[in-house]
Structures are given as C-alpha cells and as structure tokens.
Amino acid sequence: MTISKTLLLASLLWIAILPSSPFTLSPIAQVRSSSSTTLNAASSDDNYRSSSTSQQQQKQTQEQTTLGGDDIKNDLPTEISNNIHQHTTNDNDATSSPSDTLRSSEFTNLEPLLQTPTRTSRLTSEARTSSIYTPAGTDAFWSLRDEITQLEQDVTAAKSAGISAEGTNAVEAMLRRAQAKDPEHVYRVTTGAAEVAERMGREEEGKRYREESERAKRMLPQFNLEGLWVGKYGNHGFEMINVTYSGDKLIAYKVTGDKNIPRGQVTFTADVSPKFDEIKRIKKLDPIVLSEASAKKWGTKRLPRFPGEGHAAEPGFANSQFMEGQLVVIGGGDYFSFAWIPLEHQIFFGRPSPELT
C-alpha cells in the first residue's frame, strides 16, 4: 500500500469520527469495552454492529483445552494428529507467512528468486499448510466457525436428548473434522500438547507439536503483523511504528515519536493468544460483525478483536501510563486499528510505501 493510500484511508477515519465536519459519515463500527464505553471505529460509509453470541457459545469460546495423561497423542483429535504427520520434518526453514505477500505489489521489475532446494521445500510446506487450514480472517473461516458452533450445540443436544452413542459419535466426528481445519483451534490445542509433552520430558513429541503449532500460527493474521506501519496520531500527524512479538503478545514501538510519547517507547500492546486466561480473567472479545456492504468493501464479514493496553502521556512524557485498549485486525492483516478505550481515541494503521522504508 502506498503512502498516498495510507493518507486517504486515515483521512476517511478522521472525517468519520469528527462530528463537526460537514463531511461527517456514519461510523461503521463501535469498539465496546467491558465498561460499555464505546468508540467509533476506523472507516466510513456504513454501520457495523458488535457481534452478540449466546451464553453457551461464549462459554465454549472461553473453555481451555486440557491435555494430560500418559499418552498426549491420545488426547488430541485424530484429525489434528493426522495434520501433524502430513508435514515433512525437514521444513524448519519455513519462516515466511501470509503477510509476506501483502507488499509484493509495491516492488516491480525485480529479478526472480532462485529456486533453491531450501526455498522449494519451504514453498511446498506452505502450500501443504494452506491446503489443510482455512485462513483466518476470510469469509470461509467465519463460515467454518459458524459450522463448529452449530456442531458443538448439536453434540450437546444429542447427549441431552439421550441419542444413541453411535449417533452422538457421528456428530462428534464431524465436529473434530471441522476443528482440524481451524488454525486457531489447532494452534491452541497443539501449543497445550507441546507444553505437556515438554513437562513430561518427551522432547521429540513436544517438538512435533511445536512445529504444527507454528504452521497453524502462520494462518492467523494477528500473528503476521510484524514490521513497519503508519498511522495518524491526531494533531501530531502521521507516525511510524514497528510491530514485534514476545510469545503471544504483540508489542508496537514508536519509530517516530511526538511530544507525548517519544520514539523508542511502546505505543501499545495486545494479547493475541487464542487461549482464555482463567487466572487473569482475560476473556476473548467477540468479533465485530460487518453489514453486507461493509463486508463487501473489506472482503470479510467479521473483524476479530483482542484486548490490549495503550500507552498515553502528557506533553514531555509526563504522567506516562498504560490504559485499556483493543486491537482490531482487518481481513488478512492488510490493515489494523488500535483503540485507547478511556480516551475514546482510535488509530488506523496501514503499511508504509517502499520509499519510507
């Protein structure tokens, strides 16, 4: 995305949230905190609505996968175990991600890359991963999620109604097959399995689960935001940030600063883990559901959200503090926004042009 497009998108954002502007457009989303504070989201020309799920679906989302016992493999669905064995064990060099292609259009007339054995192995591994998992952030992914939710309800209903074990097992098998295509589910399960295997001293088994966990992780946009981004920090104008990760924690540092938060400081963080932390009571946020027109515009019908903390300070970096925030990932990770909930402030980020990088 060129800087001119970044300017246009950010301009639309600020027009959308300025009530005094004669060009004010209806906001298409609201980011809602646990205290019901609302914030206009970054876009224009339509309305989103926050997704509402039943208490049963929320409980299912928040449940942690518990793994243990003498044989970890037996605790994993057969479909996930099969996925692990479909991958070769010599593709540890597969370090690229779906986000690697996001900026390819910005570079033209480049010499073609040599097809070395290492590169061929990596591309083969990526193609195999794409054929197994449904990429998160796509319409196909959200349809898969709806199917999984329905199957979970069907399993519960079948057990409550006293349906035969054969019938219940058939529905459960359908559920496991659907879950095996969900990269977020597989990432959560295999990460847990790896931790258990490592605690039990099963290094090789833990390594296999880690490898599959990393493959599934590459299909999750919230883990593929690493690198430089540009966003408009209010009156300070456009600033550049650098996104990196520490485990499942996204950390954004300022590359260019201002009188409030100087360069080199953390501007915000987000917990992008799919796991529910029962100890810290960190709940997974419901995605934002887009209207039909907005879904067509952004190429997806829902936008996932993740809890975080935004850094704020008075001029001179005085009274520096972190406050409640939310990260919203758009589609396959082409764009994202971050909201400082108490300040009712949100910034929309896009990739910078090659000239800036």
**What average pLDDT is seen over the chain?**
75
- % of residues, the chain, pLDDT over 70: 65
Within 10 A of 100 (CB to CB), how many other CB atoms are there?
Answer: 13
CA angle 231, 237, 240 (to 5 degrees): 40
Query: When comparing pLDDT for 280 and 26, which is higher?
Result: 280
Q: Tokens 């490592």 identify what position?
A: 198
The whole-number pLDDT of residue 29 equals 39
The whole-number pLDDT of residue 41 equals 36
User: Which candidate, 179, 133, 185, 190, places its Cα nearest to that of 152?
Assistant: 179
Q: Are 341 and 322 in contact (CB under 8 A)?
A: no
Task: pLDDT band for 44, please (50, 70, 90 cuts).
Answer: very low
> b/e for 46-74, b at 16 or more Cβ within 10 A?
bebeebeeeeebeeebeeebebeeeebbe
Task: pLDDT band for 111, please (50, 70, 90 cuts).
Answer: confident
- 190 φ, ψ to 5°? -70, -30
Task: pLDDT band for 106, please (50, 70, 90 cuts).
Answer: low
Rounded distance, CA 214 to CA 158, Å? 35
Query: When comparing pLDDT for 62 and 193, which is higher?
Result: 193
Amino acid at 56: Q
Q: Is the pLDDT of residue 259 over 50?
A: yes
Handedness of CA 221, 142, 74, 276 (dihedral sign): positive
Mean of the pLDDT values across residues 235-240? Answer: 93
As a whole number of Å, the CA-based R_g of the chain is: 22
Q: Is the pLDDT of residue 277 over 70?
A: no
Residue 351 in tokens = 């990739």
Query: When comparing pLDDT for 24 and 115, which is higher?
Result: 115
Rounded distance, CA 266 to CA 241, Å? 9
Residue 308 in tokens = 């975080």
Q: Are 129 and 218 in contact (CB under 8 A)?
A: yes
Query: When comparing pLDDT for 353 and 20, which is higher?
Result: 353
Rounded distance, CA 310 to CA 37, Å? 15
The whole-number pLDDT of residue 173 equals 95
Strands 30-32 and 38-40: antiparallel
Strand partners, 282: 277
Rounded distance, CA 79 to CA 289, Å? 30
Mean of the pLDDT values across residues 51-62? Answer: 41
Instruction: Kindly report which listed range (68-77, 179-188, 334-343) carries the lowest average pLDDT score.
Output: 68-77
Would you give the distance in Å from CA 187 to the centre of its chain?
12
Amino acid at 189: V
